[in-house]
Structures are given as C-alpha cells and as structure tokens.
Amino acid sequence: FFLMQSWYCGHVGSSSRFSKFLASMPRFAALALNNNLGDDFESLWGGAEIRVAVDGGGNRIFDRLNHQNSLQHPLPHALKGDFDSLRSEVRGFYEENNVTVTHDKDQDTTDLEKSLQLFNTGPYASFDDPILICGGLGGNFMHTLANISSALRHCKQMENQLYLLADDCVGCILKEGGHTIHGEKDMFCGIIPFGVTGVVKKSTNLKYPPDGLQMSFGTLISTSNQFTAEKVQLETCHPLMFLADARKH
C-alpha cells in the first residue's frame, strides 16, 4: 500500500457514535442538500468550518432551525443553486442576513456540482479538508444517482475527501490509490464502481476480498461485504465508492 488516505466511517447510526464520527475530523465543511438531513444534523452543521446550503437545502435549514429558534443556530456561509426549489422568502431571509447567495442558471450541472465548484475554483478553493454532503444518500433515487455522479466527477479535480451521508450509512468517494477506512468489526460495507470497470489491486480485513476482480454494473459489484477488523485497507486502480452501513451492526 502507498500514500494511504484515511477515512472514518465507523461512527454513524446513533447519536453517540455520530459524535465520535465528527470528533475524528477536526476541520470539515458541510453541504446541506434538499433531502432528509438526519437526526444529528444540528451537531454536524454547528461544527462545520464552512457551511453551504444547496438550493432547496436552504428551505430545509430555514424550516428546521427556525422551528428551534434559528437565531441560536449558525446560518450558511453560502447558498448556491439554480433556485428551482428555493422559496423566495427563504432567499430573502438569507440575503438580509449576509449569506452569500449565488443564483447559477446552468442546467448542465447539478446543484451539488455548482456548490462543489465553490471549493474547486471558487472562494473556498484553499480549503482542503473533508466535505460532508448531508442528505447525499437516500430519498429520491434519481437524486441519489446524480449526487454520486457529481461527487465522482469533482473528486478528480479536488483535494478534499468527499463523504455522502445518510442517517445510517456513509459513502466515501475513493480516488485511485491507497486508502485506510476506519470502521467497526462486523460492519457491513460495499465497494461500488460507477461508469468504469473498477479494480481493487489488494485489500485487507474484508470478509470477501475483491482483490483483482473486474467489477462493474451488469457483471459483479461487491455488496454485503463485511469488516473483519476495525479498519480496512484498499488499493484501487479507479475511483470507487465505498459504502459503510451501520444498520446491521
């Protein structure tokens, strides 16, 4: 293994474990999508160094935090999207409270891509710590596929680690190279290629080692795999998605 990049996936699925997940990341950014943001969203949102609302995610933050007295919770630093789902009164509220609001009409990019551009070539380009994409998994399946595609597309251009979050699972977008994934023994996981034939050169601590297998949709993908220790190591030839599932743990 070489140039190992560390990932932390073992503490999703409950409030106490989620706090440990956040503690493993001293600095991170949070993106809020127009999807279920999870029971522990407030802890994540409040701990983020950079907070970005992604189009209709601005409605969800406004409604959720306003219900609990929004003045006691941090607002987004930025709001970006084509605003096809953002309510006008929510946009006005953010503009009045000095949130950077950017209307991007481009219909060839998703709202997530528009927001990731802030970290690629935009004002947060110098921020190279992990980005946690809240609501990146689950809900509308078409949106989930679009989120995965957007993350895979941008991971090639960014130094940031990209995590796609749901209440009970986390997806890590792995670039080509070596990775150490910290989890929990017996945790279920999957290694999923998208759009390419993915190959894991070698791995450690997986119940079903995928070493050398040609994986692709329509042939073979690694699902219902399992940690046999508290961390897994992988060396990949292509970008892949690693999914850790806490529901069965």
Q: For residue 17, with 0-12 CB atoms within 10 Å meaning exposed, 13-18 middle and 19 or more buried, which class applies? A: middle
In this structure, what are the phi and psi dihedrals at residue 175, rounded to the nearest 5 degrees?
-80, 170
In contact, 234 and 181? CB cutoff 8 Å? yes
In contact, 236 and 201? CB cutoff 8 Å? yes
If you ran DSSP here, which 8-state letter would residue 72 be given?
G
Query: What pLDDT tens digit does each residue of the chain (249 aa) get?
Result: 455 788 888 655 555 556 667 777 889 999 999 998 877 788 888 889 999 999 999 999 998 877 665 555 789 999 999 999 999 999 999 999 999 999 988 888 899 999 999 999 899 999 999 999 999 998 889 999 999 989 988 888 888 999 999 878 899 999 888 999 998 899 999 998 877 777 888 999 999 998 888 888 888 888 889 999 999 999 988 888 999 986 654
On whether the pTM is more than 0.75, the answer is yes
Domains of the chain: 5-245 (3.40.50.10240)
